[in-house]
Amino acid sequence: MRNTFFCIDGHTAGNPVRLVAGGAPLLQGSTMSERRQDFLRRFDWIRTGLCFEPRGHSMMSGGFFYPPTRDDTDAGILFIETSGCLPMCGHGTIGLVTFGLENGLLQPRVPGQLKLEVPAGLIDITYETEGSRVTSVTIRNVPAWVARTGIAIDIPGFGPLTVDVAYGGNFYAIVEPQGSYRSLAELGAKRILELSLLVREAVRKIYTPVHPNDPTIAGVSHVLWAEPGSDPSKEGKNAVFYGDSAIDRSPCGTGTSARLAHLRSRDIVKKGQPFIHRSYIGSTFTARTEEETTVGDIPAIIPLITGSAIATGFNTIWIDQEDVFWKGFQV
Ligand code: PYC
């Protein structure tokens, strides 16, 4: 049995985005969160087959568009990635929206605007075009907030660290320079990957955040190594660890949202002020706090994240069950 997936491949600020434009399974559920659970139960082989080697790699991520579940939205997104189906993915959204619009897969009711459903909630999109190209996408993300501060951990061979946890569509352990962590360049990619696994494991032993409105969104999934810029109120750099061996090549949309909530909570970045976030490879997103709000009784912000994406080509992928690696593999 062979399944065929028609994909548009590309990248957002260097991180891969695979829009699966044909081959999406029919899902049950009255929200994208419920559809996400249904996909994970019944169709996870599609994610692993498309994201893991030999058809993908450690950083591979992407998603499918689904018909909206509500009258006031244009489409739903189901994200796929090496670690699972994320509740929200910022670089993924920028890429999926860009490729979807450029190829006529999204039909906005209001030109320049979209309202989308993602498993984490509702997001608003504004975008700019030049001819047939989408040149910039801004996400008005789900609320972002600081969930816990001052978690003390001790990493064997590295030493003690105090980390905070913030939410921006996924839960992030945020590590700021301290002790043995002085800069991203000094650590280097190999060490960041090794340490991130240990940091995530250590934080998970102490604290499990749970989204107050959706208990299926729980637990620290990502580690964000923060490096403040020369003016920390205006710019910063990061390395975001996800899956089991990936550093985001983009500045990470949900990570940037979490970091902005973190900086805003200490009044380092003012409401409305543009904040440039640089990725490990130097690509950028611009972020802003558009609104201050609450989630239950937790103070939160509504972040705006702006970036752009480029398609690299069409890719027709087969998952053939006669292939011993039809579900993909990770090493
Ligand atoms: O951009 O939100 C993001 C993201 C999550 C994981 C990789 N990128």
Q: For residues 102 and 313, is the Cβ–Cβ distance under 8 A?
A: no
Q: How far, in Å, is the centroid of ligand 1 from the Cα of 216?
A: 18
251 CB within 6 A, ligand 1: no
242 CB within 6 A, ligand 1: yes
Which atom of ligand 1 lies closest to the CA of 93?
1
Polymer length of the chain: 331
Q: How far, in Å, is the centroid of ligand 1 from the Cα of 10?
A: 15
Tokens, residue 265: 């909570």
77 CB within 6 A, ligand 1: no
> Which stretches of the chain drop beneath a pLDDT of 50?
none
Q: For residues 316 and 23, is the Cβ–Cβ distance under 8 A?
A: no
Q: Residue 12 belongs to what H/E stretch?
A: strand 2-12
254 CB within 6 A, ligand 1: yes
253 CB within 6 A, ligand 1: yes
Confirm whether 7 is a catalytic residue: no
Q: How far, in Å, is the centroid of ligand 1 from the Cα of 322?
A: 33
Count of beta carbons in the 10 Å neighbourhood of residue 211 = 19
Q: For residues 106 and 100, is the Cβ–Cβ distance under 8 A?
A: yes
Confirm whether 85 is a catalytic residue: no
User: pLDDT tens across 105-131, in order?
Assistant: 999 999 999 999 999 999 999 999 999
Rounded distance, CA 105 to CA 215, Å? 31
Helix (H, G, I), strand (E, B) or coil at 250: coil
Tokens, residue 294: 């609450």
| Environment class of 157 (CB within 10 Å of its CB; exposed 0-12, middle 13-18, buried 19+) | exposed
The pair phi, psi for residue 38, each rounded to 5°, is -65, -45
